Structure 1
Amino acid sequence: MTTAHIDTFAHDHLPPREQWPDLVFDRPELQFPAQLNCAAELLDRQLALGNGDRMCVRAPGGPHWTYADLHEQANRVAAVLVHEMGLVPGNRVLLDAPNTPMLAACWFAVLKAGGIAVTAMPLLRAKELTQIVDKARITHALCDSRLAGQLGPAVAACPTLEQVRYFHTDADDGLEALMARHDGRFDTVATAADDVCLIAFTSGTTGVPKATVHFHRDVMAICHCFPTHILRPEPDDVFIGSPPLAFTFGLGGLLLFPMAVGASAVLLEQAGPIQLLGAIDMFDATVLFTAPTSYRVLARHSAELRDSTLRKCVSAGEPLPPATRVQWRVATGLELIDGIGATEMLHIFISADEAHARPGATGLPVPGYEARVVDDNGKPVGPGVIGLLAVRGPTGCRYLADERQTVYVRDGWNYTGDAYSMDDDGYFHHQARADDMIVSAGYNIAAPEVENALAGHGAVADCAVIGVPDEDRGQIVKAYVVLHAQIEATERLVEELQDFVKQTVAPYKYPRAIAFVDALPRTPTGKLQRFRLRESVAAHNDSAPTP
């Protein structure tokens, strides 16, 4: 099957085939036809099966959409994209909104029209959105009107972004008004299984966004791996959780996986532990996706949770401490399903179901995937030896026009950047991140990005950022700041710097702790030595070591 894409930018900027990971499709459920559109498989197919009247997506205060409702809404948006906005297959479409049924409709509309969905976290600021638009050469955008203030400056700075429509608005030129012109009928584009359908962005250690490219068959592959063999959901399940649909953890857990079995999902714009607790009760939720940080807070509400309808609880986004697993089991009587995934791999590839969970272990390779722990030369190490995690399966890393492809993929294996060990029974145990990524409350934060934001403040002469342990969030961002001469280090300045970072990058990235120091540790060539800062924290010494 040849590509359906007229705009071939994404395909043309994939890495050379020799730099791709080995892709493994050695299970019957992973044999895909040459022609495949995952929107047709996940949404259109449910109507063909007679499930149009089943509940699909809901939100507090509405709307509550059946599969037929979502299908109609997605078709109307697709018609707007094609007939009003000029989209052709292969165009990239930015989706900027919190988790809502309308965002789900827009996501499916883009894929039904043969476009490529690029979903942004609603917390991103204009600078970060501009980086995404420029990297992916995005041509179209559908945005929640409440985020217009963040997208507007990016539109002005990005000449490729010519078509923008806002929703959740009564405006005559708003998306809803345009949708009303169309009758809800739209023929899903017959894409190839290996046509690009989404580009998901992640920040690496340099702070420069990396664009991970995934095909229609990749979306269906993850629906046949972790949920089929580990989660085992049922059609009457009600999924709920905290991760944004912009995170592939959230995309799978709150949209793809429930729809693959005809179940329903609750989409929450605000999904902190307290909001989650109320929504679990309100919607009789049965399957929960969130991070260990949230589970620790939720576990304090044992009485409410034991009376709830929850039956499956998935933890990912950051390592699950053994104490949190125990705390959750004591509070609820439920065993957590832990897992590790990666934006590059699309979703979870190591996990264990409730019956096979082990304290301190992430789990075993999910059926369809292989994993091993290797040394710096790629040679497998023995049980108990800490090394680099390498994985391969039906999905894998393909960066969009990025030389870091050869760092993530080596000898056909995906190197996730995690340090792991494996026990005698083949269970994988997380040890640490192998790079300078900070994982705080499930969010990945690149230290250099925060440093760049801080450096823009007039009082800052030099700075460094690391992650330090925190009981509630796993890690927090801590900044070491060298001030210009005559600038006084005060608590007021701490707050000013924190607010400055919040206005520059997504607010969750701001340094929750700031230490003022005279100098930072650097090599003779001037390269920052973050490891020395981490060593000082480990030694319970919050002052930066002498350069």
Structure 2
Amino acid sequence: MTMDGAVVVPGTTQGAQWVDDVLLAGPAGDICFRLPEPVDRAMLRRLVRDRQSELAESGFRAGGAAALRLPPSMAFVTHLLAVWRSGGQAILLDHRLTDYEVRRAIERLVPQVVVSPGRPVSQGLRTFVEVETDVASYSGHPAGTTHAVVQLSSGSTGPSKVIGRSAEDLVEEVLRYTQIDGVPQRGERIVLLPSMVHVLGLVGGLMYGLHAGVELVPPARLTGDAIIQAIASGRNPATVLGVPFHIGLLASVQEPPELPQFQRMTTGGELVPAAVSQSFEAKYGVPLGTMYGMTEVGVIGTDLYGEHRPAIRPAPGIEVRAVGGELHIRRPESPYLGLVDPARWSDGWLRTRDAGVVDPETGLVSIKGRLDSQVSVGGMKVDLTEVEYTLGTLRGVEAAVVVFDGSITAYLQLKERRDVARLETELAQLLAPYKRPRTVRILDQLPRTTTGKLVRDVTILRTAAP
């Protein structure tokens, strides 16, 4: 054990001194969070040490695993850092999962302790909440693997996968961010919108922000007006970090005020239609940056200035290739817990299931959407991503999901009342007949995953459709 309780356990999480060295280092008075009251590094370190003591009293030991089922909160942040600092593995469970989903995950991963809210949390639209925690002993077993974090994929196109990442892997990604042109710098702010349970909010927001000395500012509520208030709450430059869903929140503000401190918005997740990015940039006068990544490897590539849209440039140290129209990412080991699936990882390469090409001269990567979005209609190849993109350009269409259900079916969410026949007439001027949806269904809200990604599961869409 090193000074102040940071545990070094060879063969477990490769030692936990990295938490102090990479995430908690820096002047004691540096502000880490504004909630809106400030939380400086001295306070954060003290809270983390307190959490370590509580975990130890509940039977948590170095080399063990702790399942965290907490909403976005200081309780989540401090328990996560305490688990790592104690030499343990953190299993991150989205607080929005059902009790059945949580129970299945816990039974499979067998943590030593489970940390959950002590009483029901009424979060509403709040992005950060105050929560009392309950730390319950679950088993006496050590962690099943040496990974520092275990996450569940978002499952937008199928069942969730269990993914593990080592401490070295996480630190490598944090340092990778520091080499990307356009990321927030020390003394600046990140208006943090995505969940810290998932990779964009976890590494791109929380871990990078702590390492780089960037203030993390969750808005009071998940609304366009509250996001603007968070941007305007300080004079130092602010970057909004989110997913395409959050662009819609900002776009819903009719007449946003002048925001000289608003530097850019960076979005991860799905591809953003050109019409949406152009509208956003015209409204706010800042670039809409793109970040492409996966839970399995973190950030893969970026275009933070919107210069190469829809292409991205691979992040430093990331090797990307296209094989048969599919993007592969170099990764020495399989990120999946359990049996290695050669259809997803083999010979040091991770298959992304994303269609794309790599320009041999510039190295830019163009992502064409999900590989399973390419279907055959009457012997003609149709890229459903192209159909979605085109539908998104039509007036009044807020979001679109196109699936192949024996025929091409489109599910639309509208921001203004439109006649379906009129939409189909406009689409006929843009797409060849064999590419057009046979059926168009209008939903009040398209189903989304816990990370805000549009769900493309046919069964779920059928159930949601009127």
TM above 0.5, yes or no, is: yes
Match of 1:68 among 42, 63, 75: 42
| 2:100 equivalent to 1:95 | no
Tell me which residue corresponds to 2:351.
415
| 2:305 equivalent to 1:349 | no
Change in Cα spacing, 1:80 to 1:241, as seen in structure 2 (3 Å) is same
Match of 1:80 among 54, 73, 96: 54
Report the CA distance between 1:411 and its aligned residue: 2.5
Tell me which residue corresponds to 1:221.
172
Contact 1:289 1:314 in 2 (8 A): yes
User: 2: distance between equivalents of 1:71 and 1:322?
Assistant: 43
User: 2: distance between equivalents of 1:468 and 1:515?
Assistant: 25
Report the CA distance between 1:247 and its aligned residue: 0.7
Could you say which structure has the greater relative contact order, defined with CA pairs below 8 angstroms and 6 or more residues apart?
1
Match of 1:59 among 13, 16, 35: 35
| 2:131 equivalent to 1:168 | yes
| 2:227 equivalent to 1:247 | no
Paired amino acid for 2:313: L
Match of 1:370 among 319, 322, 346: 319
Gapped regions of structure 2 (runs ≥ 5): 1-7, 123-129, 136-144, 375-387, 407-443
User: 2: distance between equivalents of 1:368 and 1:54?
Assistant: 30
Match of 2:20 among 19, 31, 40: 40
Report the CA distance between 1:209 and its aligned residue: 3.0
User: 1: distance between equivalents of 2:146 and 2:284?
Assistant: 43
State which drifts further: 308-317 or 279-288: 279-288
User: 2: distance between equivalents of 1:123 and 1:80?
Assistant: 25
Tell me which residue corresponds to 1:311.
263
| 2:329 equivalent to 1:391 | yes
User: 1: distance between equivalents of 2:210 and 2:17?
Assistant: 14
| 2:258 equivalent to 1:328 | no
Contact 1:240 1:267 in 2 (8 A): yes
Report the CA distance between 1:325 and its aligned residue: 2.2
Contact 1:287 1:310 in 2 (8 A): yes
SS at match of 1:329: helix
Report the CA distance between 1:358 and its aligned residue: 1.6
Q: Normalising by the residue count of structure 2, what TM-score does the alignment of the two structures yield?
A: 0.71
What are the within-5 Å matches in structure 2 for residues 84-123 of structure 1? 84-123=57-96
Paired amino acid for 1:322: A
SS at match of 2:150: strand
Tell me which residue corresponds to 1:472.
398
| 2:294 equivalent to 1:358 | no
Report the CA distance between 1:396 and its aligned residue: 6.1
User: 2: distance between equivalents of 1:397 and 1:474?
Assistant: 33
Tell me which residue corresponds to 2:421.
none
Report the CA distance between 1:87 and its aligned residue: 0.9
SS at match of 2:168: helix
User: 2: distance between equivalents of 1:217 and 1:43?
Assistant: 13
Report the CA distance between 1:67 and its aligned residue: 0.7
For this pair of structures, how many residues does the alignment match? 384
Report the CA distance between 1:434 and its aligned residue: 2.1
User: 2: distance between equivalents of 1:390 and 1:216?
Assistant: 23
Report the CA distance between 1:106 and its aligned residue: 1.0
Please identify which structure carries the higher helix content: 1
Report the CA distance between 1:328 and its aligned residue: 2.2
Tell me which residue corresponds to 1:462.
none
Contact 2:231 2:259 in 1 (8 A): no
User: 1: distance between equivalents of 2:205 and 2:119?
Assistant: 22
User: 2: distance between equivalents of 1:243 and 1:53?
Assistant: 26
Q: Deviations over 1:410-456 (max 9, x none)?
A: 2311111111123453322221212489xxxxxxxxxxxxxxxxxxx
SS at match of 2:53: helix
Q: Calculate percent identity across the aligned residue pairs.
A: 19
Considering only aligned residues, what root-mean-square deviation do their CA atoms show, in Å? 4.0
SS at match of 1:304: coil
Q: Deviations over 1:269-305 (max 9, x none)?
A: 7534443233223355602111123224413547536
Gapped regions of structure 1 (runs ≥ 5): 12-33, 150-166, 176-193, 376-386, 438-465, 481-497, 517-541
Change in Cα spacing, 1:37 to 1:313, as seen in structure 2 (3 Å) is farther
Contact 1:94 1:140 in 2 (8 A): yes
